[in-house]
Structure 1
Amino acid sequence: MCIAAWIWQAHPIYQLLLLQNRDEFHDRPTKPLGWWSDGKTSILGGRDGIAGGTWMGCTRNGRVAFITNVLEPDFIPNSKSRGDLPVRFLESLKTPIEFAEELAKEEEEYNGYNLVLADVCSKIMVYVSNRPKSEPVCVQVVSPGLHVLTNARLDTPWHKAQLLGESLKEMLRSNGDKEIAAKEMVEKLMGNRVKAEKDRLPNTGCDSDWEHKLSSIFVETDTKLGVYGTRSTGVLAVKTDGEVCFYEKYLKEGVWKEHSVQYHLNV
């Protein structure tokens, strides 16, 4: 399901500082962080080994995209893979707003999603969601500041969203204008397994027991289909001088590993 938190255009060092947990079945084939391309554009990110998409990726020219699923009881069979959406944007020449408006015409082709598109060089970030079904597709320019995205609309105050947002805000405050190590952020912020009280669960229409199992920042639960939960954490840091560092801690064959890639924006 995933959870992400970030600060955008509101920090003395970082143009963007983004953290995301990816939740998925542990046995789903996945490629860890690395450069890959199906065309002219090289994309940096992890990659789904079945559908070929990504949950979080970036490019050398400053484009960034990440996605979370919407928690809902209904599932559209034979729908298009939501992981294709970040890839399509990263490979596109359209602005975030242009791309979002294009997606608005395809709302019924995908299960529920929350998608964030950014062009760091032009300082534009856009949020797109095709849920609720009863409403038009949401296309919203993301304001500078700190934001959290779970499996509902942007900045919806779910328990784990509030917990992660407050923890990130405090870490940024206590470090002032100093850099923060990606590994430190992952260890202190993204591994929290505290679940919400039953009376603070969201009313998504899903089974309340399932909602409870997904209510922590770090998720791990047994299901009939196998272990489901957090299997990677990414930290993307884009500094004001154009230096980029993408760190990933990921699960491979039952063992946690880590890897990072650094580059400089082409502007």
Structure 2
Amino acid sequence: MCILFLYINPSSSGQGYDIILASNRDEFFNRPTKLADFWDDAPDCIGGIDLMPGRGSGTWLGLSKAGKIGILLNILQKDLDPQAKGRGYIVRDFIKGNVSSQEHLAMVQKDTKMVAYNQFNIILLEKRDNGKCCKVMLYDNVRGCDPEEIGPGFLAAGNSTIDQPWKKVEAGKKKFQSIVSENNSLSCKDQLMKELMALLNDETRNFPDPILEKQGAHYSTEVLEQRSAIYVKIPSMDYGTRTNTIILIDGQGNCTYLERTLKEPVNLEQPDYEERKYEFHLNK
């Protein structure tokens, strides 16, 4: 489970950021994971790596210097198929490969009709050759819709289909819009990152939530309330928000990639974090 807040500037002026991304990864605390770094087999790609056996060394969020970004958001469902194909490769193969987001999602859509997958949202970004704002494509394997292009501006997504957002996604989007509107200037970078990090660690419970309750009817009310916060803590399941990620890309292709991750073994009473920050330039 994860949450994503995304801003795509429709008309870059050079004074602010073209892309602002803030995302949480929610996961079991004992799931083996490699922290964000540039990949040995693809030195222009950066992201954390899922080391769970049988999951294909995929990722939930990754970026390439070629200007590609991929985000995977699992959709909450009752019965997970333990034999289902891993979903993290969808992001990994996109940012490592040479095909467009539209071509990649067409292949994924075809694959989902032949192979069992658990439910997911996938959001892919890529630079355009004409200098316009980047292209954003969305696909999920629940609604039966073709991959669709999302226009510039603000986007928020979580663990439901895009047309049925949980309350925390809608509440977080409003806060995200306010943060970006007030701080989208290169001179406000530190304040922007500070406020985005505070948003990602907001423990306010957005409950009751009819959509969340319907999707998660197999969980107790207490667990559903815990899931209703942007920053998730479910001690009874050893599950919650493990990683915050912020990505800023300006009009000149300068990228800041910040990851903040709970150190293992996780102690929710006295949480300890490791922070990794990378600054680099996207390829022309």
Query: With structure 2 as the length reference, what TM-score do the two structures score?
Result: 0.85
Q: Once the 2 structures are TM-superposed, how far is the Cα of residue 189 of structure 1 from its aligned partner? A: 0.7
CA distance in 2, matches of 1:173, 1:186: 12
Amino acid aligned to 1:180: K
Q: Once the 2 structures are TM-superposed, how far is the Cα of residue 41 of structure 1 from its aligned partner? A: 5.8
Q: Once the 2 structures are TM-superposed, how far is the Cα of residue 205 of structure 1 from its aligned partner? A: 5.1
Q: Once the 2 structures are TM-superposed, how far is the Cα of residue 199 of structure 1 from its aligned partner? A: 4.9
- Does residue 229 of structure 2 align to residue 229 of structure 1? no
Aligned match of 2:182: 174
Amino acid aligned to 2:243: S
1:76-115 matches, within 5 Å, as: 76-107=81-112, 108-115=115-122
Shift in alpha-carbon separation, 1:142–1:32, aligned structure 2, 3 A:
same
Unaligned runs of 5+ in 2: 267-271
Q: Once the 2 structures are TM-superposed, how far is the Cα of residue 46 of structure 1 from its aligned partner? A: 1.0
Out of 183, 195, 203, the residue aligned to residue 185 of structure 1 is 195
Measured against aligned partners, the alpha-carbon deviations of 1:12-54 in whole angstroms (never above 9, x if no partner) come to: 422211111000011111111100143x563201111223111
Out of 12, 35, 51, the residue aligned to residue 49 of structure 1 is 51
Q: Once the 2 structures are TM-superposed, how far is the Cα of residue 58 of structure 1 from its aligned partner? A: 0.5
Instruction: Report if aligned partners of 2:246, 2:257 keep a CA contact under 8 Å in 1.
Output: yes
Q: Once the 2 structures are TM-superposed, how far is the Cα of residue 97 of structure 1 from its aligned partner? A: 0.6
Q: How many residues align?
A: 261
CA distance in 1, matches of 2:225, 2:126: 35
Instruction: Report if aligned partners of 2:179, 2:196 keep a CA contact under 8 Å in 1.
Output: no
Any idea what SS the aligned residue of 2:147 has?
Answer: strand
Query: With structure 1 as the length reference, what TM-score do the two structures score?
Result: 0.90
Shift in alpha-carbon separation, 1:147–1:117, aligned structure 2, 3 A:
same
CA distance in 2, matches of 1:92, 1:41: 13
Any idea what SS the aligned residue of 2:235 has?
Answer: strand
Amino acid aligned to 1:4: L
CA distance in 2, matches of 1:198, 1:89: 37
CA distance in 1, matches of 2:247, 2:116: 29
Any idea what SS the aligned residue of 1:198 has?
Answer: coil
Measured against aligned partners, the alpha-carbon deviations of 1:188-215 in whole angstroms (never above 9, x if no partner) come to: 2111111122254532153252433211
CA distance in 1, matches of 2:163, 2:241: 20
Any idea what SS the aligned residue of 1:109 has?
Answer: coil
- Does residue 124 of structure 2 align to residue 117 of structure 1? yes
CA distance in 2, matches of 1:131, 1:239: 34
CA distance in 2, matches of 1:194, 1:266: 39
Any idea what SS the aligned residue of 1:85 has?
Answer: helix
CA distance in 2, matches of 1:137, 1:248: 32
Aligned match of 1:33: 36
CA distance in 2, matches of 1:239, 1:155: 30
Aligned match of 1:158: 166
- Does residue 64 of structure 2 align to residue 59 of structure 1? yes
Q: Once the 2 structures are TM-superposed, how far is the Cα of residue 165 of structure 1 from its aligned partner? A: 0.4
Measured against aligned partners, the alpha-carbon deviations of 1:200-233 in whole angstroms (never above 9, x if no partner) come to: 453215325243321110001123xx41000000
Amino acid aligned to 1:154: I
Amino acid aligned to 1:204: Q
Q: Once the 2 structures are TM-superposed, how far is the Cα of residue 262 of structure 1 from its aligned partner? A: 1.0
Instruction: Report if aligned partners of 1:155, 1:161 keep a CA contact under 8 Å in 2.
Output: no
Aligned match of 1:215: 228
Shift in alpha-carbon separation, 1:30–1:176, aligned structure 2, 3 A:
closer
Shift in alpha-carbon separation, 1:199–1:99, aligned structure 2, 3 A:
closer
Greater shift in the superposed pair: 177-186 or 28-37: 177-186
Q: Once the 2 structures are TM-superposed, how far is the Cα of residue 175 of structure 1 from its aligned partner? A: 2.3
Instruction: Report if aligned partners of 1:149, 1:156 keep a CA contact under 8 Å in 2.
Output: no
CA distance in 2, matches of 1:152, 1:42: 31
CA distance in 1, matches of 2:180, 2:127: 20
CA distance in 1, matches of 2:197, 2:150: 27
Shift in alpha-carbon separation, 1:84–1:195, aligned structure 2, 3 A:
same
CA distance in 1, matches of 2:165, 2:216: 17
CA distance in 1, matches of 2:275, 2:195: 14
Query: Which contiguous aligned blocks of 4+ residues in structure 1 show a shift greater than 6 angstroms?
Result: none
Aligned match of 1:247: 258
Aligned match of 2:273: 256
Shift in alpha-carbon separation, 1:205–1:33, aligned structure 2, 3 A:
closer
CA distance in 1, matches of 2:48, 2:240: 16
